[in-house]
Every structure is written in C-alpha cells, then in structure tokens.
Copies of this chain bind each other. A is one copy, B any other.
Amino acid sequence: MSTSASSSPQAGSRPGGRSARVRAAVHRAVQELVADETSEPLTIPVVAARAGVHATTVYRRWGTVGELLADVATSRFSGDIVVPDTGSLRGDLERYASSLAKDLGDPDTLALVRATLGSGGEQGAAACRGERRQQIEAILERERCRGGEPPTPEQTTDALIAPLYYRAVFTDEPLSPEWTRGLVSHLLGD
C-alpha cells in the first residue's frame, strides 16, 4: 500500500486523538454489527475488522465482548435524554416518556439492549438502565419544589419506565405516543 504516508495535518495534541478515534470506530462497529443481526457472530476479531483496527487493540482495551457491549451501552444511554422542564409534572413526564419511547423504539437500540443484557451480565443491565433513576428523581424533585405532591420514584419507575422497557424488549408491539401518554395518565390518576 504505502499511501500518502503520514502528513495527517492536525492530528496533534487536540482532544480527539488516535485513542479517541479508535474508541469511536469500535463503538460504531459494535452498534452496526448488533443492528445487522445477520450471521455475524459479534466477536472481537469481527468487531475489530469492521472498525478498521487490530483485534489486539480491542482485546487490550476491553477484554471481552461483554465488557465491550457494556461500555457501548453506557455511552449510548449516557446523556441520551435531557430531563425536560415544561412547567408541569404531567408535561415533564409526558415529554420524558416520549423521549424514552422514541429511544427504545429504534430497532438498533433495542438490539443493543438485548445483546448487552445477554453477555454483559449485571453490569450490562446497569448500562442499559442508564440514568433513568436520577432522571426520574430530578423530575419529581422539581415538582416537589413547585409545591406539588408527586408520586414516589418507585411508583414512577413501575408505571413508566418498566412498561416502556418491557414492551420494547419482550414484545413486538409498538411504543405508540397514545399508549405512552396513557401510562402517564394512569400514574397521575387519570
């Protein structure tokens, strides 16, 4: 080969150096492979080849497919949803649930969740959970500051997060906006 040698102009000390680029490429490769759901066995060499890096690098930085998936899921679900502030508890919950439904409704995301659960163990489950708990608590806390009496985080998780995740992961029914709003209505007592 011996392409145009080095000369890559601005590869220097800025953030986004080689290490970060490799990380991004590997993450993207994992998501693509998981989404494809073809016969690709999702092994380290396959991921590395698709990412354009060497398997050695992946072995050394992540070790196993499970840890790699957990890392990808953590990145994927970190900051994926901004906690809304619409001025009312119902508005906040509806917008939050809608965002989550849109997130989990994406087949690629769903495939990532399933794969991470499968080989990521408890750590993988935590990665898929993301920051749902803190986000819910932030919404409820804001309502409490408004003087309202919101439901507990536990109730909210059971009434919103759980149905969204269950329907996405275990069933093939769509996460329609009407159904999602209905969850909020039922939680807040119609």
Q: Which residue numbers of A lie inside 8 Å of B, CB to CB?
A: 37, 114-119, 121-122, 124-125, 128-129, 154-155, 157-159, 161-163, 165-167, 169-172, 179, 183, 186
Contact = CB atoms under 8 A, between A and B. Distances in A.
B166 A117 contact: no
Nearest to A37: B121
A148 to B, nearest CB: 19
Given A117-B169, A125-B170, A129-B170, 9 more contacts: A128-B170, A159-B159, A159-B163, A162-B163, A162-B165, A163-B163, A165-B166, A165-B170, A166-B166
The A contact surface, by secondary structure, is helix
A155 B185 CA distance: 12
Contacts of A125: 114, 169-172
A130 B117 CA distance: 18
Contacts of A117: 114, 117-118, 169
Contact of A115 (B118, B154, B166, B171): B118
The count of identical subunits is 2
A167 B154 CA distance: 10
28 contacts: A114-B117, A114-B124, A115-B118, A117-B118, A118-B118, A118-B119, A122-B172, A125-B169, A125-B170, A125-B172, A129-B170, A129-B171, A154-B179, A157-B163, A158-B166, A158-B167, A159-B159, A159-B163, A159-B186, A161-B166, A162-B162, A162-B163, A162-B165, A162-B166, A163-B163, A165-B166, A165-B170, A166-B166
A47 to B, nearest CB: 16
Contact of A118 (B114, B163, B183): B114
A128 to B, nearest CB: 6
